[in-house]
Amino acid sequence: MNILVCIKQVPDMGGRFAPNTFGTWFDDAGLVFRMNDCDEYAVEEAVRLKEQLGGTPEVTVLSIGPARVVETIRKALAMGCDRGVHVDDPSASERDPWQISSMIAGHAMSRQYDLIFTGMQSEDRGSAQVGVLVAERLGISCVTGTIGFGWRDGIVTAERELEGGLRGMMRLAAPALLTCQQGLNTPRYPTLPNIMKSKKKEVAVLRPEEVGLDGSLSSVAGFRTHEHKAAGLVLKGDSGDIADQVVALLDSKTTVLRRGGVR
Amino acid sequence: MRALLVGECRAGRLAEEISELSGFAVALGAEASMLLVGSLDDLPAFEGRLYFADSREYGEYNPEAHKRLVMEAVGRERPDAVVFLHSSYGWDLAPRVAAAMKAAQVSGVTGIDGGGYTVDSCNGKMKRTVSPLTPNVVLTLQSGAFSSPKLSGVPEVVRIDADPGSKVEFLGCTQPEEVVDLSRARVIVSAGRGVGKQEHVDLVRELAAAFGGEVGASRPVVDAGWLERSRQIGITGQSVAPELYVACGISGAIQHVAGMKGSGFILAVNTDQDAPIAEAADVFVVADLVQFLPALTARLKARHGGSF
Ligand SMILES: Cc1cc2nc3c(=O)[nH]c(=O)nc-3n(C[C@H](O)[C@H](O)[C@H](O)COP(=O)(O)OP(=O)(O)OC[C@H]3O[C@@H](n4cnc5c(N)ncnc54)[C@H](O)[C@@H]3O)c2cc1C
Ligand SMILES: Nc1ncnc2c1ncn2[C@@H]1O[C@H](COP(=O)(O)O)[C@@H](O)[C@H]1O
């Protein structure tokens, strides 16, 4: 059995973002990079399935991006994936979801993966497209926003998150692609021995043209700061002083501090 | 510009937000038609052509069949844009339709910018303008971004058919287990991932108690098991509108803000001054919640001689 996990390296969202020269994306300078949140759930679920099946499935982890994404591939290997594929594409951030999906599908086409796990969406681009597009290109079934997963003899049961706390239950046969959502599992922290072991695992490096890069369908401009509406008052400084100011504000602007008002 | 708006039903009911699709069509100046897989007893008051298929036949969640239905309507209507809500239905179906049309897709549209569309980036800290290079475009609309005009028309129903088959079998829906009703609380103090560890959730509880209010949570806090799932606020949790909402260590992702932006007064406590919650906040306290929350709790207690 073969499993593919697709992961994206993204900046830590606490960083300060500035546009690059062309205004198409952010400038990398000063940012700290890590694995996309949803993709950790994807890695964890693949590794759990491998463990459930006594270690037989081979789990490949793939990431498209510049040289730095290898660190994130290593993290996935330390979490328990078997081998890495790095599509070395320094221009990955300029590619649209259609192009990213062309490279992933190009890689997967000849490899007969039984299951593919991706994240539901990337935190920086937030398109929630790549996983579904890969499934459409490969002509395999796809469930998005997966928050529950089970596997028995080639049959997947998946829970999908809907609005307002509702969950939809699905059954489908492999081959299938699942886009994973927060809450699917609790991703593990790699242990030191596993980090050591992961250093010896193979990471194949491929060029975008080798896996099959399509032309883009959209273009990006005007990457810019989201101007926050100026209505709010910003308070900084000593916590005690701010707390005094907040109490005064709540007194003047709300009724919540008046006695007997609690329902 | 011609737009095909794709409506949706959830748990047997027409989703209210589909009026935002009409709001968007107006903003775009587009001539709109609509598609709905739903029930003839519950049709939108949409003035125009409504391509219709019955959900008893095609299911509420059956993306393979719904894709074929959308493509059938696309074939008849030849729209420049196919527009979905960025909902669990829309983000699932839109890329399938985009792939079938070989059209660019822009997800989570919040505005129209020349020939392009504005979307959020980096969890709402940044934004960018995405322009399609293809003649047609598939869009999903971020909830709350466009006005929702009251629909008052009579649709011209056009029934359409497609192969209803699917490789994915839908087994049904399950409701959330326990329900804590936060909708009546006058004050809600919510914990976000910024609380850092489970012990610090107590700081949030103590502040909520000092206000005589309820405790809410963002999704990662619930996922970590620090608070019950039924306290989650946002699109996949509850929508609340208390008189006072205190967001502690919550960045302000649109999926969270959608569930609390109707609150009367919003106080945010965050160490990152650039956090997008600033956009929703009436007062934004730039501080470590570990210091600030006890300071505020102490003052409230002092005023009320211990408690309410
Ligand atoms: C389809 C979908 C549905 C979703 N539904 C929901 C939903 O219903 N509800 C929901 O909440 N989310 C939902 N999410 C998740 C949402 O996108 C965000 O990931 C989530 O809201 C982030 O939670 P957070 O703000 O607590 O954490 P983070 O985004 O990690 O933010 C933590 C914040 O804490 C601040 N901080 C850190 N340390 C401190 C400190 N010591 N003192 C003060 N501040 C500190 C940081 O600066 C940061 O701003 C959904 C996502 C998707 C894709
Ligand atoms: N550069 C990339 N390399 C590998 N996987 C990716 C890449 N970009 C996106 N993905 C996968 O596609 C998912 C959805 O991404 P997106 O469509 O950008 O929101 C992510 O969670 C990843 O699993």
Identify the bridge partners of residue B105 per DSSP, sorted by sequence position: B138
Sole residue written with tokens 């909520």:
B208
Is the pLDDT reported for residue A75 higher than 90?
yes
Per CB-CB distance under 8 Å, the chain B contacts of A123 are 122-123
Element (H, E) at A73: helix A69-79
Distance CA A108, CA A43 (A): 17
How would residue B1 be classed by pLDDT, with cut points 50, 70 and 90?
A: very high
Could you tell me which of B109, B98, B100, B108 has the C-alpha nearest to residue B133? Answer: B98
Ligand 1 center from residue B193 Cα (angstroms) = 6
Ligand 1 center from residue B277 Cα (angstroms) = 10
What's the angle, vertex CA A243, arms to CA A241 and CA A246, rounded to 5?
A: 115
* Contact in structure between B247 and B261 (CB atoms under 8 Å): no
Q: What is the mean pLDDT of chain A?
A: 94
Could you tell me which of B210, B200, B181, B213 has the C-alpha nearest to residue B248? Answer: B200
For A143, the closest chain B residue by CA position comes to: B92
How would residue B178 be classed by pLDDT, with cut points 50, 70 and 90?
A: low
Distance CA B143, CA B131 (A): 20
Ligand 1 atom nearest B235 alpha carbon: 8
At B77, which amino acid appears? Answer: E
Q: Where does ligand 1 bind, in terms of residues with CB under 6 Å?
A: A 14, 120-121, 145, 182; B 192-194, 196, 218-220, 232-237, 249-251, 253, 255-256, 259, 269-272, 275, 288-290
Q: Looking at the partner chain, which of A132, A224, A243 has a beta carbon nearest the beta carbon of B292?
A: A243
Determine if ligand 2 sits within 6 Å of the CB of residue A146: no
Distance CA B210, CA B241 (A): 19
pTM: 0.90
* Contact in structure between B214 and B182 (CB atoms under 8 Å): yes
What is the bridge-based pairing of β-strands B283-286 and B265-270? parallel
Sole residue written with tokens 């960045």:
B251
Phi and psi torsions of B110, nearest 5°: -115, -10
Phi and psi torsions of A144, nearest 5°: -105, 155
Is B92 within 8 Å of A132 when comparing Cβ atoms?
yes
Rg (CA), chain B: 22
Ligand 2 atom nearest A129 alpha carbon: 17
Distance CA B65, CA B96 (A): 11
Phi and psi torsions of A241, nearest 5°: -65, -45
The nearest CA of chain A is from the CA of B279 a distance in Å of 5
More confident residue, B91 or B307: B91
User: What integer pLDDT is reported at residue A263 of this predicted model?
Assistant: 35
Ligand 1 center from residue B46 Cα (angstroms) = 36
Is the pLDDT reported for residue A26 higher than 50?
yes
Sole residue written with tokens 């949790």:
B237
User: What integer pLDDT is reported at residue A202 of this predicted model?
Assistant: 98
What tokens appear for A4 in the block?
């593919």
User: For testing the chain A interface, which of B9, B126, B228 should be mutated: the one with the most A CBs within 10 Å?
Assistant: B126
User: What integer pLDDT is reported at residue B233 of this predicted model?
Assistant: 95
Q: Looking at the partner chain, which of B10, B223, B264 has a beta carbon nearest the beta carbon of A183?
A: B223
Collapsed DSSP state (helix, strand, coil) of residue B5? strand
Distance CA B158, CA B140 (A): 24
Q: Looking at the partner chain, which of B11, B95, B174 has a beta carbon nearest the beta carbon of A133?
A: B95
Residues 6+ apart with CB under 8 A from B129: A220, A221, A222, B113, B114, B116, B117, B118, B119
Q: What is the dihedral of CA B27, B29, B32, B36, to 10 degrees?
A: -10
User: What integer pLDDT is reported at residue A228 of this predicted model?
Assistant: 63
Residues 6+ apart with CB under 8 A from A211: A87, A103, A104, A106, A107
| pLDDT digits 0-9 by tens, A157-190 | 999 988 877 899 999 999 999 999 998 999 999 9
At B248, which amino acid appears? Answer: C
Pocket test for ligand 1, best of B88, B188, B270, B290 (most atoms within 8 A of CB): B270
User: What integer pLDDT is reported at residue B287 of this predicted model?
Assistant: 97
User: What integer pLDDT is reported at residue A261 of this predicted model?
Assistant: 42
Ligand 2 atom nearest A87 alpha carbon: 3
Ligand 2 center from residue B187 Cα (angstroms) = 39
| pLDDT digits 0-9 by tens, B267-288 | 999 999 889 999 899 999 999 9
Mean pLDDT of B154-183: 89
Residues 6+ apart with CB under 8 A from B30: B1, B2, B3, B80, B81
What tokens appear for A184 in the block?
């699917």
For A14, the closest chain B residue by CA position comes to: B272
Phi and psi torsions of A80, nearest 5°: 130, 0
Percent of chain B having pLDDT more than 70? 98
Q: Looking at the partner chain, which of B87, B230, B283 has a beta carbon nearest the beta carbon of A246?
A: B283
User: What integer pLDDT is reported at residue B237 of this predicted model?
Assistant: 87
| pLDDT digits 0-9 by tens, B196-251 | 999 999 999 999 999 999 999 999 999 889 999 889 999 888 889 999 999 999 99
For A18, the closest chain B residue by CA position comes to: B126
Sole residue written with tokens 């509850």:
B238
What is the bridge-based pairing of β-strands A141-152 and A155-161? antiparallel
Per CB-CB distance under 8 Å, the chain A contacts of B264 are 254
Is the pLDDT reported for residue B289 higher than 50?
yes
Sole residue written with tokens 């929702």:
B148
Is the pLDDT reported for residue B107 higher than 90?
yes
Could you tell me which of A133, A119, A56 has the C-alpha nearest to residue B99? Answer: A133
Please tell me the least confidently modeled range out of A79-83, B162-166, B183-187.
Answer: B183-187
Interface confidence (ipTM) of the complex: 0.90
| pLDDT digits 0-9 by tens, B85-97 | 999 999 999 999 9
Residue nearest to atom 21 of ligand 2 (CA): A119
Angle between helices A69-79 and A37-52 (to 10 degrees): 30
What is the bridge-based pairing of β-strands B81-85 and B48-54? unpaired
Residues 6+ apart with CB under 8 A from B285: A235, A236, A242, A246, B267, B268, B269, B270, B292
